[in-house]
Every structure is written in C-alpha cells, then in structure tokens.
A and B are shown apart, each in its own frame.
Chain A
Amino acid sequence: MLDVTGIAAPGAWAKTGNTSLPGFGLTLGLSLTYLSLLLVIPLAALALYTARLSLPEYWAILADERVSSAFCVSFLSAGYAAVINGFFGFIIAWALTRYAFFGRKLIDALIDLPFAIPTAVAGISLAVMFSPNGILGKILMPLGIEIAFSKAGIVIALIFIGLPFVVRTVQPVIRELDREVEEAAMSLGANFAQRFFKVIFPSILPALLTGVALSFARGVGEYATIIFISSNMPYETEIVPLLIVKKLLQFDYVGASALGSAMLILAFLLLLVINLLQSWMKRDGNAA
C-alpha cells in the first residue's frame, strides 16, 4: 500500500520542476519505500498501540505520580541544562570566533566531541569524575555539593550532550556580525556595553534561542549519558526514557506506548518551535 505512492509517481510531477534529469521515479520510489519501512510503519505501530487506550485511560497513565514526576525530572533537567548551555555556549562561541589564542583550532574541533563520542562512554566518564572519589567529586563533596546520584548529575550529563548545539548555532552568526553596524555605533559614541546590548546581542538572540531549544530537545530524550550518573530512583531521579524501558521489561507495551507517544508529541511541538525560531533567524539574517 505504502510504496505505491512512490512507484506510481507519474513523470508529470517531475515536469512541474522543469527539469530534464532522469531518475525521478526510481529515487523517489525507493526512498519512499525505505522510509515507509523504517519510519512510517514503526510510527504507525506506536500510534495504534496508544489508540488501544481511551482518552481517560491515557490521561490516567500520564497523571500517575511516578510518571508525572519522571516528566518533571526530564523536562526540568533539560531546561536547566539548556539555559546553562545558552550562557556558556554563547561565551565559547564568542571566544572561538573573535579571539586568536593558542590551540583555538583544536578546541574548535573538540567542541563536537559530544556528537562523536558514544553516549555510554561519556556517561561512565562523567559518573566517575563526579563520584565521591572522582577528580571533581573529591573537591565538591567536602563543600557539600553532591552531583553523582542526584538531580544535579542529570543536569551535568545534559550540559555535556547539549553544548555543541548552542555553540554551532551561534558561531556562524557571530562570524557574520555586521562589523559596519558595530563600527557605526562606535563612531556615534556608543561604549562597549551599549554596543553589545543594543547592537550585537539582539542580532545573535534568534540563533541563541534556537541553540537553546535544540539543546533542550536533545536533553529531554537522552538516556545513556544520564543513567550511569543518576541514581535512577523513582519519583526522584528517574527520567521518562528510563521509565519506558522499565515498562517494556515488565511487558507493559501499552503503558510504554502511552509514554512514548506523549514524548513524541512533545518532540514534534519542540520541532515546530525550533522551525519557527530558525525562520526568525533567517528573516533576521536577510534583513541585516
């Protein structure tokens, strides 16, 4: 049923694109078939499992105290991490683009480490660092700051995971900052603080918010980096993805689907927000 759309795609469609290139039916047909098998059918399975629940039953699952506290933990931790990343990511992007210093290129490349390193590896490394005997845990414990096995540990893991999103979104905008506008402001006698808050910051803001939103979206769904540093206690430090895994282990497919579909809907809403932010970013870029 699904691949018909691809194979039956008439060449007439392609002509609307005013192109003479071959391969329309072949490439679109094959990719639609592949995407149907890999993405659409699994999504349909999730939707149909969730549809076995009536709306009140669905709400009852989500309103369960353990579930709602997991949602709180996931979204709050992701929120804190995203805001912290917004602040430090901005500073890092600024320093990497505007200053020359020894090792700049190496550091620039290492910013993407969280993208490249397996999440489990990062997770166990952070867990050891912040454990009571770890290199940072040893310093923080006597100060009464407990990171491993606490909510703060989850935020630490999510800061790591989300950092490149902010830096990589903000960096190109800082690079393209209109120096002329800045210089004009300067020649009009604006001091640095005025230039920064009235000229520079407003033009970076859309990119910064996009980066923060991306970091947040990634953090909400993260699993492997968190589970090693967190104590994973129900009601306390249990995140939604972990609760889904636990429900699956008890063969509670319907419960797991309910949580999964709720997460999916929220992820789509976030994607929508991010798209809106990105179009704001582009419009701003064109207006400048």
Chain B
Amino acid sequence: MTITLIGREPPIIKTVLLTVMFLFLGVFIFIPLVTIFSQAFQSGLAVYRKAIASPEVLSSIKLTLTIAVVCVPLNTVFGVLLAWAITKFSFPGKSVLTTLIELPFAVSPVIAGLMFVLLFGAQGWFGETLQSWNVKIVFALPGIALATLFVTFPFVARTLIPLMQEIGKDDEEAALTLGATGWQTFFRVTLHNIKWGLLYGVILTNARAIGEYGAVAVVSGLVRGETTTLPLTIGILFDEYAFSAAFAAASLLTLLALLTLALKTMMERMLEREKIDR
C-alpha cells in the first residue's frame, strides 16, 4: 500500500487536502470535544463534582445503566439467534427478513418512540387494558426499555451476518460429524469464530443504548428523577441554562464514547487479523 508511485498527484494537492481536512475535522470533531470538557470544568472541580453527585444526575445514571443491563443482553442473544438462522439456512422470505433488520436504522428514533406510545399510551391500542391492570409501560421504565431495544436491535445481527457468511459453515459441520452436539458446536466452534465480531456488536449496542435520546424522549414523559435517562437529564439541565451541570454529565458520556471508539478500533484490528489468517 505504501509503494511510492512515480509522479502521483502534485504535492500542492496533498498540502491543500490535508489543510482542508484538518480545518473541517477541527470544527466538527476536535472543537466539540474540547468544548464539552472546558464547559464541564469551567466553574472548577468542586462544581463539577457536585453536579455529578447531584441526586438528579445519580438517579438518571442508575436508570440509564438499568436500561443498558436489560437491553444489551436481550439484543445480543436475539441478534445471535437471528444471524444463525439467516446464515446457516436458506428459507423463503429471507431477504424480507434481512431488510426488516435495517428498519430501526432507517426510521427516525422519534417514530420508534411514537409507535410504542400508539401501542401502550393512555389512548393507545392497549392503553385501557393496561390501565385496568394498573400496569404502566409508557412514561415508565418498560417503555424506555422497549424504545431502546427497538433502536439498538440491528447492531449485533448486522455485524454477525456478513461475518458468519464469510466464515461459512464448514467448521460447524466438521464438529457435528465428529460427534459434537448442537450446543457444543455452537459454544465451542461458532462462538469462538465470531467472538470479536460479537463483541464489536455488543459495544455498539451498549453505546447506543446508553446514548439514545429521541426514541426515549417520546416514551419517557420526563418525570424528573424517575423516567429521565442520563441523556434526557443533560437536555433538561441545558434547557434550564445549568450549563456547567449539563456539561459535567455530558463529559461522562463523552468519556464513554471515547472508550467505545478505542475498543471498537481494537475489535476491528482483531477482525482484520483473523480475516488474514483465514
């Protein structure tokens, strides 16, 4: 790749393009990152600590983590099941199913939230039934979890399907021929083959589950301290001009985003290495 070609583009072009790139990324990547941290620490470390330890922020951190703990494992398990069904077998309607997986990425997150309000809201399909049972879904934790499940569903399946197609099913067939049971084959052969891809999907699912705003905003009802996830709390604080507090909370999510990027890059390297080995 680094073979120097005789007379590629004129050197002036390289200088111009690199300058344009640095200016553009400066405005859209570096300055936003710096702004978050400088705003967070603007009023000093004590204010920062107080903002993060406030009951409102702490309870929304708890809610956000609960949502992630519920949604990430569910979408991981079902993502693997779906990828197995799609890549190991052929059946009618497979392409429709593959398109359906893309749906959550194609629609606005607000519409995802809207659909659950239509189902479970006060005037929704099951609204009255739920009320008579005294069950609350919308404006409560289950609604937030459902909306999050919806928007984060594609990540695991979408990462695994191309990977499992590429790996093929020779390894599994060999294991079965040698007398392994279906479960043994899955846990010892398949899971081993797809581990980096699976982790990659899990990391992306987790990042989106923790950061989702639009879908969650619609079903949350914004009951402060009860149904406000961390991103929603950041929005509320910002709208109240509590900038230091909003950015203090935002800095936590930014650190998580940077960690996500680091892990994601690592997984990509692992996947690349295994691809070369194959």
Which residues of chain A have a CB within 8 Å of any CB of chain B?
9, 13-14, 16-17, 19-24, 26-28, 30-32, 34-35, 38-43, 45-46, 48-49, 88, 91-92, 94-96, 98-101, 107, 109-113, 115-129, 134-136, 159-160, 163, 175, 179, 182-183, 186, 192, 196, 217, 220-224, 227-228, 240-242, 244-245, 248, 251, 253, 256-257, 260, 263-264, 267-268, 270-271
Contact = CB atoms under 8 A, between A and B. Distances in A.
A88 B20 CA distance: 8
Interface of B: 1-2, 5-10, 13-14, 17-18, 20-21, 24-25, 27-29, 31-33, 35-36, 39, 78, 81-82, 84-85, 88-92, 97, 99-104, 106-112, 114-119, 121-125, 146, 149-150, 153, 169, 172-173, 176, 182, 185-186, 204, 207, 210-214, 217-218, 231-232, 234-235, 238, 243, 246-247, 250, 253-254, 257-258, 260-262, 264-265
A260 B111 contact: yes
Contacts of A17: 88-91
Given A39-B104, A39-B153, A117 B85 contact: no
Given A17-B89, A121-B253, A128-B243, A221 B125 contact: no
Contacts of B172: 21
A28 B82 CA distance: 6
Contacts of A217: 106
A35 B91 contact: no
A13 B97 CA distance: 15
B103 A244 contact: no
B150 A38 contact: yes
Pairs A-B, 9 closest by C-beta atoms:
A221-B108, A118-B211, A42-B115, A224-B213, A17-B90, A223-B214, A22-B182, A241-B110, A31-B82
Contacts of B10: 192
Given A21-B172, A42-B150, A192-B10, A121 B211 contact: yes
30 contacts: A21-B173, A23-B85, A23-B88, A26-B81, A27-B84, A28-B91, A34-B82, A42-B119, A46-B111, A88-B21, A100-B2, A101-B18, A107-B25, A111-B29, A113-B33, A118-B210, A120-B231, A124-B246, A125-B33, A129-B31, A134-B35, A136-B27, A160-B32, A182-B5, A224-B213, A224-B217, A241-B109, A241-B214, A260-B114, A263-B111
Contacts of B18: 95, 99, 101
A228 B230 CA distance: 16
A228 B90 CA distance: 47
A-side binding surface: helix, strand, loop or mixed?
helix
B113 to A, nearest CB: 8
B82 A121 contact: no
A179 B7 CA distance: 13
Nearest to A112: B261
A241 B97 CA distance: 27
Nearest to A18: B90
Nearest to B219: A248
Contact of B13 (A42, A92, A128, A192): A192
Nearest to B243: A128
Contacts of B254: 117, 121
A268 B114 CA distance: 17
